[in-house]
A and B are shown apart, each in its own frame.
Chain A
Amino acid sequence: MMPDLGKYADTVLSAYAVSLVLIAALVALSIWRARRVRSDLEKVELRGKRS
């Protein structure tokens, strides 16, 4: 399954690893912050309605 990357295997694999990790981190961070802000906002809005 794994293609033969020859002598540059480390190069190619590390480039893919670095990029995918960065993209994954960006996506995860965006989603995490979106969730947190959304729930915080709901809390604040509820608090506003009650009082």
Chain B
Amino acid sequence: MSLWEYANPVRFIRLTDRLLPPVAVGALVCLVIGLIWGFFFTPDDYRQGSTVKIIYLHVPAALMAINAWLMMLVASLIWIVRRHHVSALAARAAAPVGATMTVIALATGAIWGQPMWGTWWAWDPRLTSFLILFLFYLGYMALWEAIENDDTAADLTSILCLVGSVFALLSRYAVNFWNQGLHQGASLSLDKEENVADVFYLPLLVCIAGFVLLFVALVFLRTQTEIRARRMRALIARERLA
């Protein structure tokens, strides 16, 4: 018995059918507890006022935006090396989730930035690289949609994911460099965990756990959908041949 057993689509569906309810309930419970805790029972920050409450959405969403891409990268590698269809379909299933997380991170960031920095958008390195990440998600999803043959699409998108990861990383450093070149010493970035006090930290952890579980649940569900859609396409193709 090894992990690769679950590369079999039927086994995967059976496993995720069993895992999906607890994971989904866990996600819901964590999100409800974390967000209510964060929204109603944490004090205001002395500098940011009540806008500090946005952190409970912004940071987990940003984390998941990056981790979703990492998961797609791993899944793509598994597809290239071991040719397990479930893996390629899981990467496909994760992309829209990651893209949504990126949008949430960008939107909450912009809404927070308006009163705090006095602007909706600044070409800060962190913001810019997220925008670029979003473009990568868009391209990746568009390529999946554009190709009819499933195996070809899986191959091409997984290679795009590998190349895209390298270039996304490059862009991160390029953007860092570029912005220093533009505004010297101007640092707009939100101070992250290092100096977040315990009162904010604990509900934040719960929210992060909630987002992770939500991501896992969504990927399970969407992968099942992709597997079924693929099987349906195969069956219909067979009918036409018969």
Q: Which residues of A contact B (CB under 8 A)?
A: 1, 3-9, 11-12, 14-16, 18-19, 22-23, 25-27, 30-31, 33-34, 37-38, 40-41, 44-45, 47-48
Contacts and interface: CB of A to CB of B under 8 A. Distances in A.
> For chain B, what secondary structure do more than half of its interface residues adopt (helix, strand, loop), or is it mixed?
helix
Interface-centre pick from A1, A12, A37, A44 (highest chain B CB count, 10 A): A12
Interface of B: 35, 39-40, 44, 49-51, 53-54, 57-58, 61, 96-97, 100, 103-104, 107-108, 111-112, 114-115, 214, 218, 221-222, 224-225, 228-229, 231-232, 235-236, 238-239
A11 B111 contact: yes
B224 A34 contact: yes
A26 B100 contact: yes
Given A22-B103, A48-B235, A11 B114 contact: yes
A6 B221 contact: no
A4 B239 CA distance: 63
Given A8-B51, A26-B218, A19 B104 contact: yes
Given A38-B228, A48-B235, A27 B111 contact: no
8 contacts: A3-B40, A5-B53, A6-B50, A18-B104, A26-B97, A37-B225, A44-B232, A48-B235
